[in-house]
Chain A
Amino acid sequence: MNETKVKKMLFILSKGSIENAYAAFVMANGARMEGIEAEIFFTFFGLEAVQKKKLEHLKVATVGNPAMHIPTMLGGLPGMEALATNMMKKEMEKLDLPTVSEFLEILSDSGCKLWGCKLAVDMFHLKEEDLIDELDGILTIGDFYARANAEGTHLLFI
């Protein structure tokens, strides 16, 4: 088998749309499945993905997204986000993709570390009980850089 040079992947999830959350989750899970270490740092709107009350309500961004192939003005109409999100969730179900909460559980069980960003947690006035139980802790960005402690570590901003 070809040996990858990538040994550890550190992801920073900064956005709260469902497509960005899944991008981070699929890549982090994919890394673990290849025997690569993986960690995710949830910051700013990315923190929505680890808030108990919000994580199942992430939406597709329908405005400012040319790949939606609808005029931006239509994307802003009431209900458009929900419609696009439902359509995407149906397609995801067909592919047997886990839901957000199940994905987080899978990642945690797979040994992927999940971190909250201290600055963003303070800014949004979040308490520990607002965040999922699987969270491994709350870090500063400096702490997160310190996680890049292995040869072949890569850091990816989403």
Chain B
Amino acid sequence: MKKLVGQTEVNVNEEGYLTDFNEWNKNVAENLAEEHDIKLTERHWEVIAYLQGQHQKEEPLSIRGIKKSGVIDIKEFYALFPGGPLKMSTLIAGIPKPKSCI
């Protein structure tokens, strides 16, 4: 389905995740974050870049992976993306919601 994010129209699934990463840009990310009351800082962008990198390498994302990432620890991850850090950060990063239970 189509969704208006800021001034841009993007394609999203029923959970609001972008279905085409080519439609993602920083402006889209900022608007998606704002919908969830998150103001993106330098630290958020570092995490987003890490998640997108992992996704590109087809590495499955998990909370254990975050712990081992060397980019961010779990406490800060929860603090940056309240209300479910992995599902929130992937939504903003324009990549699919992780399917893992861990």
Interface residues of A (CB under 8 A from B): 1-2, 26, 29-30, 32-35, 95-98, 102, 105-106, 109-111
In the assembly, what is the distance between CA of A1 and CA of B87, in Å?
11
**Residue contact B16 to A111, C-beta cutoff 8 Å:** no
**Residue contact B84 to A34, C-beta cutoff 8 Å:** yes
- Which 4 A-B pairs have CB atoms at the shortest separation, nearest pair first? A35-B83, A109-B74, A35-B84, A109-B75
**Looking at the complex, which of B20-28, B39-47, B48-56, B59-67 is the stretch in contact with chain A?**
B59-67
Which A-chain residue is minimally distant from B74 (CB atoms)?
A: A109
**Residue contact B74 to A96, C-beta cutoff 8 Å:** no
Q: How far is the CB of A109 from chain B (nearest CB, A)?
A: 4
In the assembly, what is the distance between CA of A96 and CA of B101, in Å?
11
Besides A33-B86, A35-B83, A35-B84, 6 other A-B contacts (C-beta < 8 A):
A1-B16, A29-B63, A33-B63, A33-B85, A96-B60, A96-B62
Q: How far is the CB of A74 from chain B (nearest CB, A)?
A: 31
**Residue contact B101 to A111, C-beta cutoff 8 Å:** no
Task: Render B70-91 as a binary contact track against A, CB cut-off 8 A, 1 for contact.
Answer: 0001110010001111111000
**Residue contact B78 to A110, C-beta cutoff 8 Å:** yes
Residues of B within 8 A of A29 (CB): 63, 102
Given contacts A29-B63, A106-B74, contact A96 B84 (CB under 8 A): no
Given contacts A96-B102, A109-B73, contact A35 B64 (CB under 8 A): no
Residues of B within 8 A of A106 (CB): 63-64, 67, 74
Residues of A within 8 A of B67 (CB): 102, 105-106, 109
